A and B are shown apart, each in its own frame.
Chain A
Amino acid sequence: MSSLPVTRPAAGELKEVLLSEEQVRARVAELAADISRDYTGRDLVLVTVLKGGIFFLADLSRALTIPAALDFMAITSYTADSPSGVARLLKDLDEEITGRHVLLVEDIIDTGLTAAYLLRVLHTRNPASVAICTLLDKTARRIVPTLPIRYRGFEIPDAFVVGYGLDFRQQYRHLPYIAVLKEEPETSLSLPG
């Protein structure tokens, strides 16, 4: 792992760079090449989830050599006092996806719960296909093991990572690299015996 650039304003709270800007850029180019090859001649729609996926989607789409539409979704975040108790879309797709090939572009897959929810939403619109492209794959706490992850940037260890769109309380998204927080946040929720 490389050392932390000290010029970044948030670097003092970061433990280490997990994936450098160069590593991310190179892997994104590889993923784009794979996607360009696999989806040649297909009507491709890249869908990402606000806000975390925007940097990855922007770089990935610009590295494609095939045409692709871009679209965005946003869903409510889970909180202890979520009013409805159920996730809901804050922003739906603008594109019609019926009969089209959808690639869900994710910054990270962790438990898989969010991705599974979005896949169910997308499948109700009868796309020709749905697959996942995730930059980071953190499998340590995977609850949904059956996700159609077709493209995977990096498999990462069980750490709280930020940067390149990933945040902690809305901070660090702007970092061009993936870093590990110095002190991992933990809830003080008591646990069963």
Chain B
Amino acid sequence: MGHNNINGPRPPVRFAHASEREFAKLLDFYVIRWEYEPRSFPLERDAEGRVVESFSPDFYLPDLDLYIELTTLKQNLVTRKNRKVRRVRELYPGVRLMILYARDFRKLLAKYDIPAISSSEAG
């Protein structure tokens, strides 16, 4: 997990992907506080109570009390994430979770004329 600190230097955050880093920069620009993967939501446990499936949204925006998950362009992974998001909403009804689909995120970045970032820059 990592977080930004709009009032001072921030600890380094190792993002899993370049798009997450770009999203964090966008939030920084508008002075929106964020935390990176701060919480994991258990979705399923085995008979012994061990967590066998969980979901860790990419971002948490504390001032908005909102979790945000960025998605992939691969439909099978989107389907899996959608299922997990639905499950989070069922199990944790008080949690506000927004899923930002790849297409929407691309459009959002295009609005700002963000140039291409190669996959080699990811992470």
Contacts and interface: CB of A to CB of B under 8 A. Distances in A.
Interface residues of B, number: 48
B109 A187 contact: yes
Interface in B65-123: 66, 68, 70-74, 77, 96, 98, 100, 102-119, 122
A55 B109 CA distance: 25
Interface in A175-193: 184-193
A92 B88 CA distance: 43
A57 to B, nearest CB: 21
Contacts of B6: 86
A86 B31 contact: yes
Contacts of A39: none
Contact of A192 (B16, B29, B31, B66): B16
A11 to B, nearest CB: 21
B117 A189 contact: yes
27 contacts: A79-B112, A79-B113, A79-B114, A80-B25, A82-B25, A85-B28, A86-B29, A113-B26, A114-B30, A117-B30, A140-B104, A143-B66, A145-B64, A146-B64, A158-B107, A160-B110, A184-B110, A187-B106, A189-B114, A190-B18, A191-B71, A191-B72, A192-B19, A192-B72, A192-B122, A193-B74, A193-B77
Given A85-B29, A190-B18, 5 more contacts: A82-B25, A140-B104, A145-B64, A185-B111, A190-B17
